[in-house]
Structure 1
Amino acid sequence: MLGSVAGRLQACYPSPSNLNEEEMMVGMKTANTMQNLQHPTAVSPFLTQFPNNNSRIVAFTTPQNYAGRLSQLLQLKGWKPLWCPTVVVETTSQTTASIQKYLSNPNNDDDEQKPPLEDFSAIAFTSRTGISAFSEALADVKKPQLAPSGETFTISALGKDSECLDDAFISRICNNPERIRVLVPPVATPTGLVESLGLGRGRRVLCPVPLVIGLEEPPVVPNFLRDLAAKGWVPVRVNGYETRWAGPECAEGVVRKSEEEGLGLGLDAIVFTSTGEVEGLLKSLREFGLDWGTVRKRCPRLVVAAHGPVTASGAESLGVAVDVVSSMFDSFGGVVDALAFRWQSLEC
């Protein structure tokens, strides 16, 4: 048996040598990445139908916690990122309290009291934000949540989100890492996670998921909980963080660029990484008196890219046709590479 969490992660997730150069460079953050997101350098007004790499402007709608990673990948391709966040993702005192309900009371020194997490067999994280929210809630708890001995406890995460399940995180769950199984499904989707967890046989699984405010909740989380139940698990939903609409003006950057299309300064692509982002954009467009069809007419060369099939399906259910879907969606590198391949094929 491997003796560390890092070892177990390496066994079920690609090593750095298997990642492409761009993914490895994501961690090398530049000081001005976020500063330049909303202010791409002006490009030549004399663009051809398929402009060269250095002229392409790519809008993306991710919340701030993911923006730096995706922006840098776009810049590594020589493109100009335009950050137009349509959702805000963050923890609140209420969501932190919701998680802490399932953790040991930090003010309780009674070692005989059974920690609430002992009633569970697994935690299933469907996002990096969920892991961060759980870690934040753990900060006020001084002792590990599980006894050193007991049945194997599974902690699961999708794709590169599993990087957050490091030794420091695991040690706050249990001081015996051999009791913890870190599970990273080969297919980085909630459905893939359910399949990897296997049969529940009546066991409980804690699911830190978002509380959606100001938008319709996409079917992803309800379907995930339903699928877990169908596999015999008892899923316990906890609102670990909030996902909120970014407001009526969040589509301003997209609207402005669509108006500049005739000058050769319009959008070449837009990248969505969740269904909520799509809905947030459409809701803001309505505030400007526009709809998605109008944007597409203004920007006929616009390529719509989705980070994985779940996002693509959600976008199309909202009336936004998707041109590019990443087949490798354990990291944002997949959708960026898929977009590059699309343009390369058009230029051949």
Structure 2
Amino acid sequence: MKVYVVGIGMTNFEKPGRREDFDYPAMALEATRSALADANLVYSDVERAFVGYCYGESCCGQKSLYQLGMTGIPIVNVNNNCATGSSALYLAHEMVAGSRSDCVLALGFEKMERGSLGSKWDDRANPAEDLIASMVEKYGFESGPPTAQLFGNAGREHMSKYGTKPSHFAKIAHKNHLHSANNPRSQFRDEYSLEQIESSKCIHDPLTKLQCCPTSDGAAAAVVVSERFLRMRPDLREAAVEIMSIALTTDLPSTFNGSAMNLVGYEPPDSTRKINGSFRLEYIIFLSLTPTEGCFVPIVDVGRNAAKYAQGTTGFVNSFPFPILKLSLFCEPNVMKEQSAKIADVQLYSSQCARSF
């Protein structure tokens, strides 16, 4: 069965602690009400909900949505690190595509802390310990956030293999910061020169501070419906955007074959994909590549035609949050606005091969 997004909602994204009375229930309420209003629906139309977050106690989803009504629907809490929002949207899609539900809410929120992300549980195995151990075996462990080291080392490997330069990574951050200046939801809307980005504090070579995402508080939501639902509500047809395809995968044995790029999920760029985007070099490792005689040439030097291969619909991630909570979900509003021609002054090119969220 065909699956559509008919409504989206999103809060502003704020530096943790900056905005008063912005606990996760308030974020969730704002985003969900906005999504329902955008779809011209009410909460009682929703048949089930998937709620993504990482930083919080169990059942925060129920706490958030009970504000809208206690309708008895299944509310499933989702925690899948950087794929949390993507997973909530994926599960909503699966329920509709499998004819189990006709109207499903995907919601993501996060209330975070200032500073670099760290481990919360020191009395049990860390799920990332195998990744870190594999990295340390080849690259050692330096000062700085472990995640930045994982991606920074992947950038170093890419430079070694393909001749990529630190300036290529900096150009991606420059592009993103320019777009974020036009996005009113961005946490930071400052423009930076390429020189400022390159000379900002080194976090883990080649990554500088302005190539890394901040932590942030915020929420986003999407209402996902079936073809059958649209037949019952033909007034929603014009604004509906079909989800043509969505996939979710996990690691393969090749993840641990000694490649730093594989540790962060690299695959040849042969299909449309969503990337994490927490560190600017991911755009090059995952997307900004084009095969040329067996090599890979960064297309960030190509200019506007680069959108033929990869697109960042908002280019906002450097000034938006580290997207733990809701990766697809905080981007869904921007993608929806692009598809329905509701957004301007950001990157809106026709993409043949990939769209970066």
With the shorter chain as reference, the TM-score category is: under 0.3
TM-score by length of 1: 0.25
TM-score by length of 2: 0.24
**Higher RCO (CA < 8 A, seq sep 6+):** 2
